Chain A
Amino acid sequence: MTCFDVELTVNGAPRRGSVEARRTLADFLREDLGLTGTHLGCEHGVCGACTVLVDGEPARSCLMLAVQARGADVRTVEGLAPDGEMNRLQEAMWDSHGFQCGFCTPGFLMQITALLAENPGPTEAEVREALSGNICRCTGYESIVNGVLLAADAAGSDE
């Protein structure tokens, strides 16, 4: 099958590859770039585990083709703590016992990153609404919501 060259930025670094048109962005990230932090939960765009940021916007990497990400700025969970130091959101999730099995975690973290960039001080209702496209089967969501609110609080108190 014909392959296409893809150049893009992933977590701040230029990356390139040669992919079939049908290769999903998720498979490109996981298989070709070795960034296995992004998880595949349903591969039909419902569960949100594969959420990454494409030019700052949350996107389902299972529904997006790698070729569609040409020239884009992609961020994945690996980009949240590039130096191994957890960022404020990750620390807040740790403090809140946010997650259990960890499989949905990357999608939530990226979705929340987008939320807090747009709305640094969300209400609980806004948090729940913003997370309504991400499924967690373990926690019942309360600990995740608490983590978001804690991260937002921590950000607020820094200002």
Chain B
Amino acid sequence: MQHIAERYTGASVRRSEDPRILTGSGRYVDDVRLPGMLHAAFVRSPVAHARITRIDVREAAKAPGVVLVLTGEELERSLVPGPGIAAMFSGGAPVPAFTTLATGKVRVVGDPVVLVVAESRYLAEDACELVEVDYEELPAVMTPQAARDPASPAIFEDLGSNVLVRSPVAVFGDVDGAFARADRIVRADLRQHRHQNAPMECRGVVCSFDPESGELTVHSATQGVHIVRTTLSTALGLPPEKVRVLAGDIGGSFGLKLGAYREDVACAAASRQLSRPVRWMEDRLENLTFSGQAREESFEVAAAVTNEGEILGLRVKMTIDTGAYPGMGTMLPELVKTMIPGPYKIGALSFEWTAVVTNKAAYVAYRGPWASETWVRERMVDLIAMELGMEPIQVRLRNVATRETPPRRMVTGRSLAGVTAKESLEAIASTVDLPSFRRLQAGAREHGRYLGLGMATYIEPAPGPLEGKGGGGIMGPEQIRLRLAEDGTVTLFTSQMPHGQSHQTTFAQIAADEFGVPIEQVRVVVGDSDLVPMGFGTGGSRAATMAGGASLHGARALKARVKEIASHLFEAGAEDIELSGGSVAVRGVPASAMSLAELARAARSPGRLPPSLAGDVEVTAAFDGGEGGWSGGSHAAIVEVDVETGQVRVERYVVAEDCGILINPAIVEGQVRGGVAQGIGAVLLERSVYDEETGQYLSSTFMDYVLATACEIPRIEIEHLETVPLDADVNFRGVGEGGMIIAPPTLCNAIEDALSPFGARVLEQHLPPARILELIGAIPAG
């Protein structure tokens, strides 16, 4: 009998994913091989905005190995028109009409125009070269300013304008009163630059339609199989039960791989037409140019403050550049509005927003999509501190909500129950030893070295306190199914679709503890829409609380079912049944022990159990988030700026984070470090650049879109605060997005601090060397 010495939850258990990943045995979508499989490639628009005046595919159709060439109009005949997934993430904003492959117009460089399917990718790309498309170019609308101009050509004619949404002004608290009482008004126009997910694995799909059964099987690199299934069944007019979506290992996503994209729909339709499997793997050029980009937002902010550093209120006007096709750009501003007070006692807020359409790639979700609320607020705090001549941490500590009963609320409504912003700020201040840093900084400046310290704090609704409303936010409760397999394995079916988050390890830890079996006896099944319960998938930092909680409650329910079955088999009371180490027995009668495998087999044997218990030993459970709770923390960065070259070196990076109870500390730390690394990259390196005249995309390779390497990312010191349990059972909170949310303001604050002798004010998030040199006046701005 196996003995379980300790709890898995809370231990840095080695990942069950690693044996396959470390030996090259992972199964990514590009590794799927099906008999008769064909390969797709797309002819894409070389221009940003144009009418298509002619398409000639005759030469391409005759090219070697070519099986099918489809224009947008031809493809459309086999599809059901409609907005597809766009409506799901529009937040109620108008969704313009467009087709799966461009018809009539192209609206962004990389817009797919013609699909070519051939016997190999090489041959498909050869044939793409033979497709002739004539374009009548239109002026490219490349900035929000241009989009606002009524004279700009409407990118979507049915919208009639390039302004998609102008929100009403939302007012919380007494804004006019706050500004009237203020000693000072601190104003800033802040800009967040366009950058992008760039997972190491691009998008990809293998679609296989079986004409006999009428079923479409889709292998997809996705964050959630059910959304892909819904999107494809809708677009193809297939009953959902005729579409099965499978996903294996996913090479990262960070928000990009949500639902079925236009290319996926085209490949599914081609497979149905050809009755052969069709595979498309996005290449990096397509990925960087077209798949989606994020974060391009600007803000006009005014803060009403007292001379003592109290922030009385904020007035915020936000503009979001949603790119050409609908993504998530119109859903986010309302989240930014709700979250912008963060863990602060800011008593008044007015917020309005405008969303515009431009000839750029679609605005997509990227790790902490609403992150601008933290960037804007934490930047403003430092600008306020600069204005008042205070230490930024003093302003933060003066304004953050402390824990009290009843808990304070953000002025926008949500309870701040369990928030530990003050504790985490004090932790990082103590770790970096602020007074001694200031002495070091002063000494260094005398030698022409510019050190800076930045801090920032945030909270993340992962899921946030639910106050009896439950439901896990917009995505609903998390469902789960558990089965005791005939070999005694506890098999857990989840709609979560891990793409690096290690759910196959963490859910197994939770279920093993709750059910009482060794972790090796728990198997986590993901990525099959025929097997896993309906659910959104992985995103929004919901896995830890929602699916972790579902795992816990599901394991508890399965254990109760097993005891009930055992009590029938043993003819003993369920309360007298003991389950331990992979066996069930009547308490005090070790000889009665029956292995879980035997129990599962007995349950399936006809006649052994009453009908209500007979058959598979299986339970379903759903978890609505329980009491929920915020995730959050504070970060500090120490940087050195070389004022000769403009290079910024991150010398030290300190994190105090609170994601509740840790399931697996090493996995939590991996999420934190990975998020911080992306945030450092966003500030120092990454930017999705367009030529504003021509609309050409200039960051289309990894030589132009530069990602951080091991040489730019420092060691990251992490302290965990596991402080405030709110729920009786489930106090794990999401941690995937936080690092990416808070690292940019932390770093920007540090850089501004380093450059304070130059009087620099940092108003944008992207600070590559050339911009640093501009900020210190070494080279002319512009």
Which of A2-10, A53-61, A64-72, A88-96 lines the interface with chain B? A88-96
Q: Which residues of A contact B703 (CB under 8 A)?
A: 44, 46
* B582-610 interface (Cβ within 8 A of A): none
User: Which of B499, B673, B702, B713 meets A47, CB within 8 Å?
Assistant: B702
- Say yes or no for B21: interface residue by CB 8 A criterion: yes
A135 to B25, CA, bound (A): 20
* Contact bitstring B284-300, A, C-beta under 8 A = 1, else 0: 10000000000000000
The reply to whether A40 and B30 contact each other, CB–CB distance below 8 Å, is yes
A97 to B23, CA, bound (A): 14
Least CB distance from B110 to A in Å reads: 16
Which residue on chain B has the smallest CB distance to residue A85?
A: B23
Given contacts A78-B23, A139-B677, A140-B673, contact A95 B14 (CB under 8 A): yes
Q: Which residues of B contact A137 (CB under 8 A)?
A: 198-200, 252, 254, 674, 678, 707
* Contact bitstring A93-126, B, C-beta under 8 A = 1, else 0: 1110111111111100100000000000000000
A119 to B15, CA, bound (A): 28
- Say yes or no for B22: interface residue by CB 8 A criterion: yes
The reply to whether A103 and B28 contact each other, CB–CB distance below 8 Å, is yes
Least CB distance from B201 to A in Å reads: 4
- Say yes or no for A25: interface residue by CB 8 A criterion: no
Which residue on chain B has the smallest CB distance to residue A102?
A: B21
How many residue-residue contacts, CB under 8 A, span A and B? 171
Q: Is the interface of B mostly helix, strand, loop or mixed?
A: loop
The reply to whether A132 and B500 contact each other, CB–CB distance below 8 Å, is no
A23 to B121, CA, bound (A): 11
A133 to B707, CA, bound (A): 11
User: Which of A34, A103, A136, A145 meets B201, CB within 8 Å?
Assistant: A103
- Say yes or no for B715: interface residue by CB 8 A criterion: yes
User: Which of B18, B702, B710 meets A131, CB within 8 Å?
Assistant: B710
* Contact bitstring B177-210, A, C-beta under 8 A = 1, else 0: 0000000000000000000001111000000000
Which residue on chain A has the smallest CB distance to residue B501?
A: A100
The CB with the most chain B CB atoms within 10 A, among A38, A39, A129, is that of A39
A76 to B200, CA, bound (A): 19
Which residue on chain A has the smallest CB distance to residue B121?
A: A27
The reply to whether B24 and A106 contact each other, CB–CB distance below 8 Å, is yes
- Say yes or no for B567: interface residue by CB 8 A criterion: no
* A132-155 interface (Cβ within 8 A of B): 132-145
User: Which of B15, B20, B27, B716 meets A142, CB within 8 Å?
Assistant: B716
The reply to whether B24 and A36 contact each other, CB–CB distance below 8 Å, is yes
The reply to whether B200 and A103 contact each other, CB–CB distance below 8 Å, is yes
The reply to whether B709 and A86 contact each other, CB–CB distance below 8 Å, is no
- Say yes or no for A63: interface residue by CB 8 A criterion: no
* Contact bitstring B214-237, A, C-beta under 8 A = 1, else 0: 000000000000000000000000
A49 to B26, CA, bound (A): 14
User: Which of A37, A43, A80, A127 meets B710, CB within 8 Å?
Assistant: A127
- Say yes or no for A81: interface residue by CB 8 A criterion: yes
A111 to B14, CA, bound (A): 23
- Say yes or no for B466: interface residue by CB 8 A criterion: no
- Say yes or no for A22: interface residue by CB 8 A criterion: yes
* B6-23 interface (Cβ within 8 A of A): 12, 14-15, 17-23
- Say yes or no for B666: interface residue by CB 8 A criterion: yes
The reply to whether A99 and B201 contact each other, CB–CB distance below 8 Å, is no
Q: Which residues of B contact A16 (CB under 8 A)?
A: none
Least CB distance from B128 to A in Å reads: 15
The CB with the most chain A CB atoms within 10 A, among B22, B199, B701, B702, is that of B22
The reply to whether A141 and B31 contact each other, CB–CB distance below 8 Å, is no
The reply to whether A132 and B709 contact each other, CB–CB distance below 8 Å, is yes
Q: Which residues of B contact A94 (CB under 8 A)?
A: 14-15, 18-19, 22
Which residue on chain A has the smallest CB distance to residue B283?
A: A43
Q: Which residues of B contact A140 (CB under 8 A)?
A: 670, 673-677, 713, 716
The reply to whether A42 and B19 contact each other, CB–CB distance below 8 Å, is no
Given contacts A47-B200, A77-B24, contact A97 B666 (CB under 8 A): yes
* Contact bitstring B714-737, A, C-beta under 8 A = 1, else 0: 011000000000000000000000
- Say yes or no for B437: interface residue by CB 8 A criterion: no
User: Which of A99, A101, A128 meets B499, CB within 8 Å?
Assistant: A101
A14 to B28, CA, bound (A): 26
A76 to B12, CA, bound (A): 29
Given contacts A93-B22, A136-B200, A139-B677, contact A100 B284 (CB under 8 A): no
Least CB distance from A65 to B in Å reads: 13
- Say yes or no for B249: interface residue by CB 8 A criterion: yes
Given contacts A86-B22, A100-B670, A138-B500, contact A132 B200 (CB under 8 A): no
The reply to whether A135 and B709 contact each other, CB–CB distance below 8 Å, is yes
A138 to B670, CA, bound (A): 8
The reply to whether B702 and A101 contact each other, CB–CB distance below 8 Å, is no
- Say yes or no for B667: interface residue by CB 8 A criterion: yes
A78 to B22, CA, bound (A): 9
Which residue on chain B has the smallest CB distance to residue A106?
A: B24
Given contacts A22-B122, A97-B12, A144-B710, contact A138 B24 (CB under 8 A): no
Q: Which residues of B contact A141 (CB under 8 A)?
A: 677, 709-710, 713
- Say yes or no for B108: interface residue by CB 8 A criterion: no
Which residue on chain A has the smallest CB distance to residue B254?
A: A137
User: Which of B15, B19, B27 meets A86, CB within 8 Å?
Assistant: B19
- Say yes or no for B251: interface residue by CB 8 A criterion: yes
The reply to whether B199 and A131 contact each other, CB–CB distance below 8 Å, is no
* A17-34 interface (Cβ within 8 A of B): 20, 22-23, 30, 34
Least CB distance from A70 to B in Å reads: 20
* B118-171 interface (Cβ within 8 A of A): 122
The CB with the most chain A CB atoms within 10 A, among B252, B254, B678, is that of B252
User: Which of B18, B24, B254 meets A35, CB within 8 Å?
Assistant: B24
A141 to B716, CA, bound (A): 10
Which A positions have Cβ atoms within 8 angstroms of B? Answer: 20, 22-23, 30, 34-44, 46-47, 49, 76-78, 80-81, 84, 86, 90, 93-95, 97-106, 109, 127-129, 131-145
26 A-B residue pairs with Cβ-Cβ distance under 8 Å, sorted by A, are A22-B122, A36-B28, A37-B25, A40-B30, A41-B284, A81-B22, A86-B22, A93-B22, A94-B14, A94-B19, A94-B22, A95-B14, A97-B14, A99-B22, A101-B199, A102-B22, A102-B249, A103-B200, A105-B22, A105-B26, A109-B22, A131-B709, A131-B710, A132-B711, A137-B200, A142-B673
Q: Rank and list the top 8 A-B pairs by shortest CB-CB distance, nearest first.
A: A37-B24, A103-B251, A102-B21, A101-B500, A140-B677, A100-B500, A140-B673, A77-B24
7 other contacts beyond A47-B702, A137-B198, A141-B677, with CB at 8 A cut-off? A44-B703, A47-B284, A99-B22, A103-B199, A135-B702, A138-B500, A138-B670
Which B positions have Cβ atoms within 8 angstroms of A? Answer: 12, 14-15, 17-28, 30-31, 33, 122, 198-201, 249-252, 254, 283-284, 499-502, 666-667, 669-670, 673-678, 701-703, 707, 709-711, 713, 715-716
